A and B are shown apart, each in its own frame.
Chain A
Amino acid sequence: MTDLSSNPVKAVPSARPNSGSLYQRDTRTRRRNAAEKRFRAYGLTAILIAVLALAFLVTTIIRDGSGAFRQTYLSIPVALDAEILDPQGNRDPAQMASVLTLSYGQVLDRALDRAVADLNLQIPGLQDGDVDGLVSRDASAQLRRMVLDNPELVGQTVDVNVLVNGRIDGYFKGRVTMQSAERDSNVSPQQLLLAEALRDEGLLVTRFNREFLTNADASDQRPEAAGVGVAMLGSLYMMLVVLFLAVPIGVAASIYLEEFAPKNRITDIIEVNISNLAAVPSIVFGILGLAVFINFVGLPQSAPIVGGLVLTLMTLPTIIIATRAALKSVPPSIRDAALGVGASKMQTVFHHVLPLAMPGILTGTIIGLAQALGETAPLLLIGMVAFVREFPAAPPEGLFDPASALPVQVYNWTQRSDPAFVERASGAIIVLLVFLLCMNLLAIYLRRKFERRW
């Protein structure tokens, strides 16, 4: 014990910070306060910039993408001519299926011509083909699907809703103008005038585009028919694969490394490698997936199972790091308490440590999943960028069918020349963001639920 009396504290008057009145701030205090004020201002500015950037991003995406959720349809009565659509006349769907889309195009064109003639419009310079060009190239296929689904319609005149050409649709959304139409070989100003007249008559209607969410991708020529259905399903399947593989493997690996593994050189190396894996560019995982899962194992290209496996590899480090951090943050006193009453190591971990680490594990897992959901590069390498028209089947078989993925669909659409696809791409981004938002909400909900740590 130190004897205080042998070492008296000397009074040093000059060491006093301020001998004057408390009402008077000395230079040092003023400077200190000014520095603090400056720092707060920096922080506030940083936050402001971040918020503005975010607001700009969100408004841009919504402005560009909201158009994808509205689509213009033409609604006209179509006489489904039995001689063209069912030459045999027995309404047998199998035989009717041999009638090509081209014939439906004729029927549609005829109906359209009649509808326009009925209106008795005077549009100078309107040429013959212009009227037929109003509808989408996909419209006749749409009509064919409708008729093949309901063969009894043949011979009747039915009101039909078909997609309008992307340019016309763009005119109503402000993407196409009279000026741009003059330079455009795909649409003429006369067509736009005609479309306007048809809208005034109530034949052209712009309404909510449910098909955007349910349709598959469409070719370059028919942006109006393109949807994110296949991509959404593909992303969903991949998330399922990641969820069922990455989460159990990641959590089990973390528990072993954190709680059971001896601390030695080998576990150190594993630890360093896991941290490094988290920083590996995702495209590398794509090459790995191509080499291992497709070329070596022989899994099909473009399949969600391969995408899911690649994303699992990519997500594992994130989940492991987050889970280990969560396990580490559980106070050792809880472990001592459990061991002290004679719980085994495993009982300690599963009864006490894991429940307390759960919120952290969930957050990490969902961050990992969200990361995987937005990942594009590795999927390009395993062929998920392919043009997929067919919906994959229900899982588990569907996991092996070709599919697309949301971010890849966005990437794909931004590559196309028709500006209508830019709108679609932004629309797909909105869908992706909604997905992410839902996952985050789920994370918050689960966190709340498990965080009842009293």
Chain B
Amino acid sequence: MYDTTRTESAVTQTDVKISARNVQVYYGDKHAIKDVNVEILDKTVTAFIGPSGCGKSTFLRCINRMNDTIDIARIEGRILLDGEDIYDRRVDPVQLRAKVGMVFQKPNPFPKSIYDNVAYGPRIHGLARSKSDLDEIVERSLRGAALWNEVKDRLHEPGTGLSGGQQQRLCIARAVATAPEVLLMDEPCSALDPIATSQVEELIDQLREKFSVVIVTHSMQQAARVSQKTAFFHLGSLVEYGDTDDIFTKPRDSRTEAYISGRIG
């Protein structure tokens, strides 16, 4: 759909973390993702933008095989994480999801304490050998999610008692705690107020230093603010992919231009 040669030449300087090859997704009879090819870079924030129902969330959920939980979803093509096909028969999706964390649209902390929320991932993956190890991971993750100072005195209070923005940062801390390599964020700010949004955006910018972050967003301003790479999806196809600055200032496809100027959506 887009000019692959240009993107490939543009990305050679940085490591490719994830590369999608001819990915097709079907929901029953619906062809939801049509032949998507994309290379997502390490230590970079990549934004997926596009009108509702364009398949950006669907594609995001392919990257950590969350679509496996949907019975009617069928995926073709290959998605390589560090050169390994995550849809290979030998791959256990559970192991994959420990490497590719996810933050969802609606903050969804477990109905447990703040501490247990963050500690859950490390516990089930056996990342901590002792209680103090675990404490350290929890603190590091909460600090990483810029939440530590707000909750350090009430770690054993319920996570669901926090405000929306805090809950979302708790979810980020929870995702970060398992030390993933890629962090997928599905419209992480859509349920948040502007202040919480700006906090999360700042956080995303910091997370880039350690992970490859892929963020789906409805807000083009957000994409422009936080991402270095942007992919524009339309009707299940990847229309254009490139540096964020280029996409927003000189889009090459007329549909991209129409979208960012607000004429489709």
Residues of A within 8 A of B (CB): 1, 262-263, 331, 333-344, 347, 351-352, 356, 453-454
Contacts and interface: CB of A to CB of B under 8 A. Distances in A.
Contact of A341 (B96, B121, B158): B121
Given A342-B94, A356-B111, A454-B161, A1 B64 contact: no
Q: Which of A331, A340, A343, A453 has the most CB of B within 10 A?
A: A340
Given A262-B71, A341-B120, A454 B111 contact: yes
B111 A340 contact: no
A341 B66 contact: no
A40 B129 CA distance: 63
Contacts of B110: 334, 337-338, 352
Contacts of A333: 104, 106, 108
Contact of A454 (B69, B104, B106, B160): B160
Contacts of B263: 1
Interface string B105-141: 0101111100000001100110000000000000000
Q: Which of B96, B121, B159, B160 has the most CB of A within 10 A?
A: B121
B113 to A, nearest CB: 9
Interface in B214-265: 262-265
A329 to B, nearest CB: 14
A454 B158 contact: yes
B47 interface: no
B98 interface: yes
Given A263-B71, A336-B66, A347 B124 contact: yes
Contacts of A335: 69
A6 to B, nearest CB: 15
A337 B104 contact: yes
A1 B265 contact: yes
20 contacts: A1-B262, A1-B264, A1-B265, A263-B71, A331-B108, A336-B102, A337-B104, A337-B110, A340-B66, A340-B97, A340-B101, A340-B102, A340-B103, A340-B104, A341-B98, A341-B124, A341-B175, A342-B94, A344-B94, A347-B124
Interface in B67-98: 69, 71, 94-98
Nearest to A337: B108
Q: Nearest 3 CB-CB pairs, A to B?
A: A342-B98, A454-B158, A333-B108
A336 B95 contact: no
A90 to B, nearest CB: 74
B97 A334 contact: no
Q: How large is the interface on B (under 10, 10 to 19, 20 to 34, 35 or more residues)?
A: 35 or more
Given A262-B71, A263-B71, A340 B175 contact: yes
B121 A342 contact: yes
A310 to B, nearest CB: 36
Contacts of A263: 71
A1 B158 CA distance: 43
Contact of A339 (B69, B95, B171, B264): B69
A341 B94 contact: no
A331 B105 CA distance: 14
B24 interface: no
Contacts of A344: 94, 124
B174 interface: yes
Nearest to B94: A344
B73 to A, nearest CB: 13
A334 B112 CA distance: 11
Contact of B101 (A334, A341, A351, A356): A341
A263 B102 CA distance: 26
A338 B110 CA distance: 8
Contacts of A454: 111-112, 158-161
Given A336-B104, A341-B97, 8 more contacts: A337-B108, A338-B120, A340-B104, A341-B175, A342-B101, A343-B94, A343-B124, A351-B120
Contacts of B104: 333, 336-337, 340
Contacts of B262: 1
Contacts of B175: 340-341
A340 B64 contact: yes
Contacts of B264: 1
A45 to B, nearest CB: 41
Nearest to B109: A337
B44 interface: no
A248 B212 CA distance: 45
A454 B160 CA distance: 7
Contacts of B161: 454
A342 B108 contact: no
A148 B119 CA distance: 68
Contacts of B102: 336, 340
A341 B103 CA distance: 9
A313 to B, nearest CB: 31
Contacts of B19: none
A338 B124 CA distance: 10
Contacts of A351: 120, 124
